[in-house]
Amino acid sequence: MPKKKKYVRKWAKFGEGYLSGWSKKMPDKKRLELLKRLVKKESYATVIRRLNQLRNVTKDIATKKKAAKDMASLKKIYRA
């Protein structure tokens, strides 16, 4: 009997520097420009995964809100 393939979950790398200097202290427009450049360099899915992981891991409410807002902005741009 053939072996079943295991489902492999694809996790984006997460840590300092993986969002190319993204900071909650940056203005909205600058953060979005930075993320657009990162989408061109990496991919849309990778950037969304990293923002999602940041949003889920952090305990800082302001960071959660900014990451969620940036995810929504990217979704409007790239999923339209």
Q: In Å, how far from its chain's centre is CA 56? A: 11
Give the residue-averaged pLDDT of 48-74.
Answer: 94
Q: Which residue has the tokens 């950037």?
A: 47
Under 8 Å between Cβ of 38 and 52: no
Tell me, yes or no, if the pTM score tops 0.85.
Answer: no
What average pLDDT does this structure show over 58-67? 94
Q: Is 79 helix (H, G, I), strand (E, B) or coil?
A: coil
